[in-house]
Chain A
Amino acid sequence: MSASPDAIVSIRNLSKSYRRGNQVLPVLTGISFDIARGEFVALMGPSGSGKSTLLNLIAGIDSADSGSIKVAGVEITGLSENELARWRAHSVGFIFQFYNLIPVLTAFENVELPLLLTSLSRRERREHVEAVLSVVGLADRMDHYPSQLSGGQQQRVAIARAVVTDPEILVADEPTGDLDRASAEEILKLMDRLVHELGKTIIMVTHDPRAAEKAHLIRHLEKGELSES
């Protein structure tokens, strides 16, 4: 199976297992698939099916046992730990279920964090942060600490942090899992805008069928194997 020319993520024969004592537990077994640029993909499946593991592998925060993962032409399975960290800094945006904002930093400072790993000047960083906070509708909340924001607002700050470096892909692990219906709807609309207006590629793990509905494509994982719906 060869990669399609417009694939931003190309996965081939990917396997991953965990070791518990003497026991080896296979999580992913020989998975191959592509994700096209600008696509919004939902990964669904029961707990323990390996969807978060797959997301972590694509995001370069976990290492595969075998197989290949290419993101925007970069084979990430061969990168060293430090190379992976540098690659993540400019190629991957993370959206977590519990937002994972740093509580002692303001919304502005949280969004600025990934830019500290770039060569941008202080003024350029400020411009970038203000621009993305405006996109997510929180320009007037940039000096607030996470504890002063609602769950939906915190997730919007997290999305601003994820997109501020203009990464190749956005990975979202249950982005609406901790939100009420209305806030979840807002976040999904925002993600939809990121795909349609800014051409972002999103890979989202979710249990929520209403969140999955927003995706262009839903992939099901069951017992380490992938199916499409």
Chain B
Amino acid sequence: MGIPYSYSLRNLWTRRLTTVLTASGMGLVVFVFAATLMLAEGLQQTLVQTGSSDNVVVIRKASNSEVQSGVERDQAALIESQPEVAIGADGNELLAKELVVLINLKKRGSNNPANVVIRGIAAASLDLRPAVHLKVGRLPRPGSAEVIAGESIARRFQGCGLGETLRFGMRDWRVVGIFDAGSTGFSSEIWGDCDQMMQAFRRQVYSSVLFRMKDPGRFDPFKARIESDPRLTVEAKRETRYYLDQSEAMANFLRILGMVLTVVFSIGAVIGATITMYAAVANRVGEIGTLRALGFQRVSILGAFLLEALLLGLCGGVLGVVAASFLQFITISTMNWASFSELAFSFTLTFGIFWKSLVFSLVMGFIGGMLPAVRAARLSIVSALRES
């Protein structure tokens, strides 16, 4: 048996001010580390939750998003006639030919403009997206210049509140309803009648065709068939895959940015931990000499000081993760680079991020404590006792 764990733990408690200060430094780094991972996770979850695995999005080949896509009317009709399309309770196909256009709207308060997605919807659009439901007001009447706005858009953009009027496509549009789309990307969209939108924006083609599959297990043969059909220049993706692809680049960017930042910051925190642990060794030279004289081996001393540094790192980790967990209450918005539109999402803490942050803090503690622990273990017993 080695030196008791309580020795390391109580030494941290004895010099609690130094412990708290050093752990806070490490906690800040863990906070940044966890926050960027939470940001990437929040973005990804928002976009992935936007999709449903039963739904299929059909867009023009090689276009990464609906914004860049164009599906000709005759091609859309051909897709509509495919046997895989599910039929709704009303006897109609659960399929929506939609238009996606970006417009520029001013934010409330700051007057800063940002891109917003306008989606021209069909009758089945709401049925295809169970996460979306009308919160207040009513749905736009077909053939009228009426729109409904996602909750986060209504809150943050001028003219998007219930009863307000927006101007785009050289027409005025009345907001007749606000819809709640949970934490999906639709919260950041404005929806109106597709035919009205196509006229207003002078578009001849749809952006995408969205439909529910009768049997989701038959997606692969369907995809193979329509992508090899010479009459069609489209590609089919499961809706979840489509949104995951959209989020990947941004999420990766956030993760890499987070890693670079935390690596730079962690150098400072590790140096802080090293200084603290060197001071701890210097203050306890006599104790080290005594423990060695009593028969504890160098490796026990090394272990006790490393454990102390690991506990210090863990304190920092817990501080950082607890602080970062409060970020979950914050919703932020940024440009979704895949659709070039505004996207609102929250920081999301997952179990994976939680343990990665703790492991990261332990690694910082380990690196910071290594040199001081080696110094403690290498002390000669006689000179250590003489210094006490």
Contacts and interface: CB of A to CB of B under 8 A. Distances in A.
Interface of A: 56, 59, 61-62, 81-82, 85-86, 88-90, 94, 96, 98, 100, 102-105, 109, 113-114, 116-117, 161
A109 B295 CA distance: 16
Nearest to B10: A104
Given A88-B295, A94-B293, A96-B290, 14 more contacts: A61-B382, A85-B292, A85-B295, A94-B294, A96-B388, A100-B286, A100-B289, A100-B290, A103-B287, A104-B10, A105-B10, A113-B291, A117-B1, A117-B296
A154 B290 CA distance: 15
Secondary structure dominating the interface of B = helix
Contact of A86 (B295, B381, B388): B295
Q: How large is the interface on B (under 10, 10 to 19, 20 to 34, 35 or more residues)?
A: 20 to 34
B338 interface: no
B385 A109 contact: no
Given A61-B385, A62-B381, A62-B382, A114 B290 contact: no
A219 to B, nearest CB: 21
Contact of A85 (B3, B14, B286, B296): B296
A76 B93 CA distance: 93
A195 to B, nearest CB: 22
Contacts of B1: 116-117
B287 A102 contact: yes
A88 B294 contact: yes
A161 B295 CA distance: 12
Given A56-B382, A85-B297, A116-B1, A103 B292 contact: no
Contacts of B291: 102, 113
B2 interface: yes
Given A96-B385, A98-B388, A61 B10 contact: no
A102 B286 CA distance: 9
Nearest to B11: A104
Contacts of A116: 1-4
Nearest to A102: B287
B14 A61 contact: no
Contacts of B298: 81
A200 B367 CA distance: 46
B381 A61 contact: yes
Contacts of B295: 85-86, 88-90, 114, 117
A65 B43 CA distance: 70
Contact of B293 (A82, A88, A109): A88
Interface in B266-310: 286-287, 289-298
A173 B291 CA distance: 16
A85 B7 CA distance: 20
A114 B382 contact: no
A105 B385 CA distance: 19
A124 B341 CA distance: 71
Contacts of A100: 286-287, 289-290, 385, 388
B293 A104 contact: no
B18 to A, nearest CB: 14
B6 interface: yes
A11 B3 CA distance: 33
A217 to B, nearest CB: 24
A105 B284 CA distance: 14
A102 B388 contact: no
B296 to A, nearest CB: 7
B382 A109 contact: no
Contacts of B381: 61-62
B290 A102 contact: yes
B100 to A, nearest CB: 65
